[in-house]
A and B are shown apart, each in its own frame.
Chain A
Amino acid sequence: MTFDWGIFGYNTLVVVLLLLVATGAVPVLAGAFSFIAIPFHAFKNHYRKAAPYLPRVAIVVPAWNEAAVIGRTIDRLISLEYPPENLRVFVVDDASTDNTPDVVLAKAALYPGQVFHLRRDKGGEGKAHTLNYGIRVILQDDWMEALLIMDADVVYLPEALRKMTRHLADPKVGAVSAYIREGSADKNYLTRYIGIEYILSQPAGRRAQNVLGAQACLAGGAQLHTRENLLALGGQIDTSSLAEDTITTFETQIRGREVVFEPLAIVHAEEPGLIAALWKQRLRWARGNISVTAKYRKIWFRRSKVHNLGSWSFGIVWFSLWLLPVAMITSSIGLLGLLLLHSQFALAVFRALWIIAAVSFTFTLALAAQLDRKLSANAWRELLTFPGIISMIVMLTAFFPKLTEVDIPALFGWHLTSAGLFELTIAIYIWIPFSMVGAWLARAVEPTWIGKFLSPLLIYLVGYGSLLCAITFDSYIKELRHADSKWDKTEKTGRVVG
């Protein structure tokens, strides 16, 4: 018997390519797994341990040139359905150059003993530094029992705070987060996409994380800490990275305290309406997540008696999001390699991969649409095209091959030749990495005159998910180049509906 090195090499290559294709299925299956966990929130939630509890809450509001919004924000906070004697608002003015101080001082005079103006003479160091200035002042006496960290432009629904504090009745809870809902008054295609993304990541994703017993991130605009938790964190917010919210969330859980997401405490926030602004904001988040992944390298996939951050389920969900662009590229390389080798597996794994994607997306979006019906109804186009129109066509090609390869071409009197079908297949197989290029192009043309029409069109075609993947990919490049990582404030106009 002779050993055929050629066949051995070919088979080895096919196995490697199949493994590459499989990497593309991991994030899709992880996403589906998260969504399957959501209905379990019906009986695995924190409501049983919650109770009526109205602690003394100090609200710290970082503000840099927020004159347009800060007055209304203070009025809304004072009118929350929460005992006013148990509520104090500390606005930390980060060396504003507009008339933010005047507005805040006027409100302090209007609400004596409830609103306080704290002024930093040297500003611009970032949100965490600004917060820490306020926290140091608040911790100087023992009035504060719980601390609410928020942004200057967000709008809390009247009952939101008391829905958060009820979880602090359980002494095991260190922090509570709320549902940050996209609430721009003048929405465009991008803010509607962000609204859908926030449904997927919060009332869906964070509910699932409640079930899994580990939270990835407290919302920057709505995080409520107990005094004990804040002191355990050293009485300050981490300033070493761009991901202070994630680090605070991880440190809380590592110290043995629970982090709870309250889906029915709703906070409206204005989100970027331009790709450039969104890119800047998300690049900061993505680079922060890279540093968090490295900082906590010893907890991943290692069981702990104290927290669930090391569970396999949480680890796979975390890395699936973080490594999604890599998985998209490797699975396309695998598919293309199998096709060029004329492997019998090429078509089968393509169909399997995209059928999994189609089933997962259908389930995910059908469930998400029901979790926030009003927002989904207003953004139905963005909900349906979230994966991108072209990706949806690819899914249709995998799910209903006869429809796209025979029936639809026949309607136009076309017949796909073998060569034409092969070229179409190659295009479909490598579409996913190219969708990121399309998202990058949408950003590049946005400032030009044609961008007003072309950018939205490109995002509808390539999908909002591809835009987020392109930003994550950019974060890899920036980290590899050790590019400057400075805190940039996302521009807000104060047009949030209450």
Chain B
Amino acid sequence: MSDVDPRHPSAELIQRELDRDRKHEWVLVPKAFIALAVVAVLVVIRQLFFV
């Protein structure tokens, strides 16, 4: 059992959390590309079948 008190987060823990969260923001880039891909599929279907 850990004896670390969650109500006293250490500077190291907060720094690790900060580094993790900063890196986490990079997932926004592939997420935007996925959203663009959904739009692209819609446009391709239109061009192939409904024009």
Q: Which residues of A contact B (CB under 8 A)?
A: 35-36, 38-39, 41-42, 45, 47-48, 50-52, 54, 79-84, 158-159, 162-163, 166, 207, 264, 358-359, 362-364, 366-367, 370-371, 399-403
Contacts and interface: CB of A to CB of B under 8 A. Distances in A.
9 contacts: A38-B32, A41-B25, A52-B11, A82-B7, A158-B6, A163-B17, A207-B28, A359-B39, A400-B45
Contacts of A359: 39, 42-43
Contacts of B22: 45, 47-48
Contacts of A35: 35
B18 to A, nearest CB: 6
Interface SS of chain B:
helix
Interface string B21-39: 1101110110110111011
B11 to A, nearest CB: 4
Contacts of B21: 47, 163, 264
Nearest to A87: B7
Contact of A363 (B15, B17, B26, B38): B38
Q: In the complex, which range does the number of interface residues on chain B fall in?
A: 20 to 34
A359 B29 CA distance: 19
Interface of B: 6-9, 11, 14-15, 17-18, 21-22, 24-26, 28-29, 31-32, 34-36, 38-39, 42-43, 45-46, 49-51
For A41, A51, A52, A402, the residue with the greatest tally of chain B CB atoms inside 10 Å of its CB is A52
B32 A367 contact: yes
B46 to A, nearest CB: 6
Instruction: Give 4 closest A-B pairs by Cβ, nearest first.
Output: A52-B14, A366-B35, A47-B22, A39-B32
A84 B15 CA distance: 20
Contacts of A52: 11, 14-15, 18
Contacts of A399: 42, 46, 50
Contact of B9 (A38, A47, A162, A264): A162
A40 to B, nearest CB: 8
Contact of A370 (B17, B34, B42): B34
Given A51-B18, A162-B14, A403-B50, A366 B38 contact: yes
A244 to B, nearest CB: 29
